[in-house]
Amino acid sequence: MSSGDPGSDDRSLASRIAADLAAALAAGTWNAYDGPAGRELLVSLGRRFSRRHVQTVASGTIAVELALRGVGVRAGDEVILAAYDFPGNFRAIEAIGATPVLIDVDPAGWSLDVDSVAAAISPSTRALLASHLHGSGFDAPRLSALATERGIALIEDACQVPGATIGGRVAGSWGAVSVLSFGGSKLLSAGRGGAVLTDDPQIDQRMRIANDRGNLAYPLSELQAIALLPQLERLDVMHRLRQRGAERLLEMAHSAGLIPDRHPANADDPAWYKFPLQFPDEATRDAARARFEQAGIACGEGFRGFWRRTSRRCRAVGSLDVARLRSVGSLLIDHRELADDRIERVAAAIEASRD
Ligand SMILES: *Cc1c(COP(=O)(O)O)cnc(C)c1O
C-alpha cells in the first residue's frame, strides 16, 4: 500500500520504471517497433477501460483527430463541442475541414451542457466531441442516448479523467470512440502519448488507415509503454489519494462559493487532473492566482475557450455565457497539490480567497 507521501510514490514509480527499462535494455526489446510492453499496454488499456479495440498514438491531440476520422467526419460536416474546451479539439475538427459548432457549458460544472445539444444539431452534424473537464464529467448516459437517437457519433475525450466512473461505467467507455492522453502533466504520463478506444471494428479500422503510411504515422514507442505500464497498475491507488485531497478542497470551495453547488456534476467517482475554482471575473481570478503562486501552489488559468472565434470559423448556438465565465474566471489547481502533505496549504489559500 502507498504511504500517501507523493515523494515516496514518485520514487517508487521511478525505481520501478528504471528496473523495467533495465530489463528491456538487457533483453534487447527496448527499441522494437512493436515490443512486449507496447503489446501489454494495449491489452491493459482494453481491460481497464472495457474496450475491445485499442490503439496507442503519439498524443491526445492526434487521438482526437483520428477519432473524428474514425467515425467518418469529412470536410463540410459539422461537429458539436463546448465553447470551453481543450484548444486542440477545435483545431482537430478544422484539420479535417469540418466546422466546429459551439454550445454552452453546464452551469453545474466545466463540461458541455447536454440540454444545449439538441438545438445545435443540423442535417450536417456528424459527431459530438465531449470532454470530461476538471473533475466534472458531462452527463454521459444522457448524451450517449441522445447521440444514438439522432444518429450522431459521440467522441468521448477522457484525457483528464482516467480512473473516473460516470453513470456507473468507467470514463473512457462511453464514446463510439474514447480518447486518452499520456502527455507530460497528465494522470498517466509518458511525456507524450495518447490512445483511441472503441468497440466498433469498422471505426477501429478507419483509424488504423488514417494512422498508416506504410509505417505508423503517429506511434507510441516501446520506451513510452514501459513508463506507462506501472502507472496504469497503480492508477486506483493514486486515484484514492487524489480523491481524499479533492474532498477536503470541495468542502471548502463550496462553502466559500468558489465552485458550483453541484460540482463535481455527473461523475459518481470523479478523477482530478485539475481542481477548478470559479472566480467572478478575470481580475479577481488573476489576483487569486498571484496569491496561490506566492504560496508555492502549482496552478494556472483555464482554457481560453472558443467564444471569441468569428462566425467564419465556427457556428455558435446560444449565448455561451457559462463558457465565457469559465474561461475568464477559472483557476485550475494541479493534481500534485492534492497530495496529503500539500493539501493544507491549498486549503489555506482557498480560505484566504473568501470575500
Ligand atoms: C491534454 C488534453 C488533450 C490533448 O492531449 P495531448 O496528449 O497533450 O495532446 C485533449 N483533451 C483534453 C481535455 C486534454 O486535457
Q: What are 256-304's pLDDT values in tens digits? A: 999 999 999 888 999 999 999 999 999 999 999 999 999 999 999 999 9
| Shortest-distance Cα residue to atom 8 of ligand 1 | 183
Q: What is the mean pLDDT of residues 70-90?
A: 98
Tell which atom from ligand 1 comes closest to the C-alpha of 59. 7
Better pLDDT: 136 or 140: 140
> Which residue from 90, 132, 181, 273 has its CB within 8 A of the most atoms of ligand 1, so it is best to mutate?
181
Instruction: Give distance in angstroms: CA of 193 to centre of ligand 1.
Output: 10
The confidence score (pLDDT) of residue 78 equals 98
Q: What amino acid is encoded at 116 in this protein? A: S
Is pLDDT of 4 > 60?
A: no
Tell which atom from ligand 1 comes closest to the C-alpha of 193. 7
DSSP-based three-state secondary structure for 193: strand
Query: What is the length of the chain?
Result: 355
- The string of pLDDT tens digits covering residues 306-330 is 999 999 999 999 999 999 999 999 9
Instruction: Give distance in angstroms: CA of 86 to centre of ligand 1.
Output: 7
Tell which atom from ligand 1 comes closest to the C-alpha of 194. 7
The confidence score (pLDDT) of residue 340 equals 92
Instruction: Give distance in angstroms: CA of 342 to centre of ligand 1.
Output: 25
> Which residue from 57, 61, 110, 111 has its CB within 8 A of the most atoms of ligand 1, so it is best to mutate?
61
Q: What is the mean pLDDT of residues 13-32?
A: 97
Banded pLDDT at 2 (limits 50, 70, 90): very low
| Shortest-distance Cα residue to atom 4 of ligand 1 | 60
Instruction: Give distance in angstroms: CA of 355 to centre of ligand 1.
Output: 33
Tell which atom from ligand 1 comes closest to the C-alpha of 181. 7
Tell which atom from ligand 1 comes closest to the C-alpha of 133. 13
Conformation bin of residue 184: beta by default, left when phi > 0, alpha when psi is -120 to 50: alpha
The confidence score (pLDDT) of residue 253 equals 95
Q: In what order do the strands lie in the sheet with 330-334?
A: 274-278, 330-334, 299-301
User: Is the bond into 264 cis (omega within 30 degrees of 0)?
Assistant: yes
Cell (9 digits) for 176: 463510439
The confidence score (pLDDT) of residue 7 equals 63
Measured distance CA(266)–CA(112) in Å, rounded: 11
Tell which atom from ligand 1 comes closest to the C-alpha of 192. 7
> Which residue from 157, 220, 228, 301 has its CB within 8 A of the most atoms of ligand 1, so it is best to mutate?
157
% of the chain exceeding 90 in pLDDT: 94
The confidence score (pLDDT) of residue 9 equals 77
Banded pLDDT at 10 (limits 50, 70, 90): confident
> What burial class does residue 34 get, using C-beta atoms within 10 Å of its C-beta: 0-12 exposed, 13-18 middle, 19+ buried?
exposed
Tell which atom from ligand 1 comes closest to the C-alpha of 132. 13
Instruction: Give distance in angstroms: CA of 352 to centre of ligand 1.
Output: 31
Cell (9 digits) for 108: 453545474
Cell (9 digits) for 209: 488507415
**Which domains does the chain carry?**
6-233 (3.40.640.10), 235-352 (3.90.1150.10)
- The ligand 1 site (C-beta within 6 Å) comprises 59-61, 86, 88, 131, 157, 159-160, 181, 183, 194
The confidence score (pLDDT) of residue 1 equals 39
Measured distance CA(64)–CA(87) in Å, rounded: 11
Instruction: Give distance in angstroms: CA of 60 to centre of ligand 1.
Output: 5
Quote the mean pLDDT of the chain: 95
**Residues 6 or more apart from 53 whose CB is under 8 A from it?**
46, 197, 198, 199, 200, 201, 203, 204
